[in-house]
Chain A
Amino acid sequence: MKARGRVFKYGDNVDTDVIIPARYLNTSDPQELAKHCMEDIDSTFAQKVQEGDIIVADKNFGCGSSREHAPIAIKASGVSCVIASTFARIFYRNAINIGLPILECEAAVKGIEAGDEVEIDFGTGTITNLTKNETYQAQAFPEFMQKIIAADGLIKYIQKDLA
């Protein structure tokens, strides 16, 4: 599986309140949430983002509230992957559980700039910056998480046990 897109770049501690403000949490409809994705940190994101685009951020991406609406909004915006130096732990679980690809890679975060064209090979964890002609190697997922991803999320994964 591969992803390719243009990069939106952010700094440290992007919290789930700015990813999707609570004033929009009176719905859980993914398309409605996508309209307000990143609104309080980047008010033009929802208009500019295109299918396949990639979010790159520094430390502790997705900190704060456990709202799964945050990765849902990002995924419904068409974003193909989030790359960060580190992720807050609840966001990390939620992203895997709903099938939003995420990668931890400090080198990529250092090298990639906003607007760069980036390609990701999820099979190998290789991130290629096509604009700068650089490659970075992300950490592979533990085997257990790969199984959840291969099952297309946690619900389908547990269905096998309950069937």
Chain B
Amino acid sequence: MGMTMTQKILAAHAGLESVVAGQLIEARLDLVLGNDVTTPVAVKEFSKVGIDKVFDKTKVAIVPDHFTPNKDIKAAEQCKFIREFARDKEIENYFEVGEMGIEHALIPEKGLVVPGDVVIGADSHTCTYGALGAFSTGIGSTDMAAGMATGKAWFKVPSALKFVLTGKMQKWVSGKDVILHIIGMIGVDGALYKSMEFVGDGIKNLSMDDRFTMANMAIEAGAKNGIFPVDEKTLEYVKAHSTKEYTIYEADEDAEYDAVYEIDLSTIRPTVAFPHLPENTRTIDEVGDIKVDQVVIGSCTNGRMEDLRMAASILRGKKVAKGVRVIVFPGTQKIYLQALEEGLVKDIVEAGAVFSTPTCGPCLGGHMGILAKGERAIATTNRNFVGRMGHPESEVYLASPAVAAASALTGKITNPEEIA
């Protein structure tokens, strides 16, 4: 029986000829990742194992990005704790404030993941790296600790859903709209325990930034991972960012899928997820009159160059609506600098928005843009759960950078087609 792309990567890392869905395997890890919220718990667990070294100091990455620059004393203590661990264990890929970025924007940029890798990260959006044709999945702190100790992790081999993408997206539509559309279609547990494998002719029309955004939100459908085939765009990205050796895996023609969905990208409209689940999607044409108090553009989902270029192109030469707070977060320091060089920061600031240092900040209700009771935000982030960005009685609407930027100008959720 044929294997899916994910199954092939897992089989190779388990030293097996083949695997089948449901099989429990132990796989070799190419990277183990953690952040400032999850790593402290992992370090405590690691210390119980009773060994002094991590399995490979080049294959562990620690990125303090959630509550940094430190938002309070407790957060500072947590960061200090993991900084000392990283120093003590000589972790090569520890990224301090000033060189760090939002982990899932930073790790690919640093070339730490290449096609065919197996990656675990103590952060649910670790599934982002599926954009590079790697198997990449979120786990918790204890799994991170065990991964740092042994260089291995156990997995139940997932079955898969196949998404055949055709056509080309309309102007103002991006990867965010595609993945919101898919989550709206299959639900927040529609891919529970499964892989989401994206294939088809339409993939060539998706930029790497679109693919990162789509793979990033696979977890919002409950998936174990999301994965894209490796093509010329992937290899161009990999060659520009990494010197690591890579392996290209392709799904077998007779691979089995639990379901196959065909999606014509040209039919997808700008899409918004209403509170309080990412599956509560409506097209921009069905949104109605929704006023917003805050606009957040950035995060591991949408804090890359194309996202900032899109936002700046809409804000350029205009002013954000009176009384609306607009906060823009670049994914990494490198993205920050490039946005500066391209004049995007000027466009954004002149329009009356804030341009922040990279941080996960408001996405998870950490800091840098918390909502008060009854307030409402439109955000390019990934979750709109109860209390996600602040008060339990606040609301988050999820959308693309284009919709968020258009909404910044009007103070209500707005179709970018009407602004341009």
Which A residues form the contact surface with B (CB < 8 A)? 13, 15, 17-18, 21-23, 25-28, 39-41, 59-60, 63-69, 71-72, 86, 88-90, 93-94, 97-98, 142, 144, 153-155, 158-159, 161-163
Contact = CB atoms under 8 A, between A and B. Distances in A.
B75 to A, nearest CB: 5
Contacts of B142: 68, 94, 97-98, 153-155
Given A18-B387, A158-B146, A90 B49 contact: no
B37 A13 contact: no
Interface string B125-156: 01000000000001111110110011000100
A60 B188 contact: yes
Contact of A28 (B44, B189, B365): B44
Contacts of B365: 17, 21-23
Given A26-B71, A97-B143, A158-B146, A63 B222 contact: yes
Given A23-B365, A89-B193, A155-B142, A162 B49 contact: yes
Contacts of B72: 26
A40 B193 CA distance: 26
A90 B192 contact: no
A97 to B, nearest CB: 4
Interface in B191-218: 192-193
Given A13-B188, A159-B49, A94 B140 contact: yes
Contacts of A94: 139-143
A86 B146 CA distance: 25
Nearest to A94: B140
B385 A66 contact: no
A90 B139 contact: yes
A34 to B, nearest CB: 15
Contacts of B66: 22, 25
A28 B40 contact: yes
The interface size bin for chain B is 35 or more
Contact of B123 (A22, A41, A66, A89): A66
B150 A90 contact: no
A67 B74 CA distance: 17
B201 to A, nearest CB: 31
B189 A60 contact: yes
Contact of B150 (A26, A39, A161): A161
A72 B71 CA distance: 23
Contact of A18 (B48, B222, B364, B385): B385
B357 to A, nearest CB: 19
B146 A154 contact: yes
A1 B44 CA distance: 27
Contacts of B189: 13, 59-60, 63, 86, 88
B364 A155 contact: no
B123 A162 contact: no
Nearest to A21: B387
Tell which of A13, A23, A89, A153 has the most Cβ of chain B within 10 Å.
A89
Nearest to A159: B49
B45 A155 contact: yes
A15 B383 CA distance: 10
Contacts of A72: 41
Contact of A97 (B140, B219, B364): B140
5 contacts: A18-B386, A22-B37, A22-B364, A67-B37, A158-B146
A93 to B, nearest CB: 6
B143 A154 contact: yes
A39 B146 CA distance: 30
Contacts of B50: 159, 162-163
B67 interface: yes
A75 B402 CA distance: 43
Nearest to A97: B142
A69 B36 CA distance: 13
A79 B231 CA distance: 49
Tell which of A22, A41, A159 has the most Cβ of chain B within 10 Å.
A22
B6 to A, nearest CB: 14
A88 B385 CA distance: 15
A17 B139 contact: no
CB-CB nearest 6 A-B residue pairs:
A26-B74, A94-B140, A97-B142, A68-B140, A60-B189, A66-B124
B364 to A, nearest CB: 4
A69 B386 CA distance: 17
Interface in B365-392: 365-366, 383, 385-388, 392
B419 interface: no
B383 A64 contact: yes
B140 A155 contact: no
A143 to B, nearest CB: 9
Contacts of A159: 48-50
Contacts of B308: none
A161 B149 CA distance: 11
B75 A89 contact: no
Tell which of B154, B189, B193, B392 has the most Cβ of chain A within 10 Å.
B189
Given A26-B74, A28-B44, A89-B192, A66 B140 contact: yes
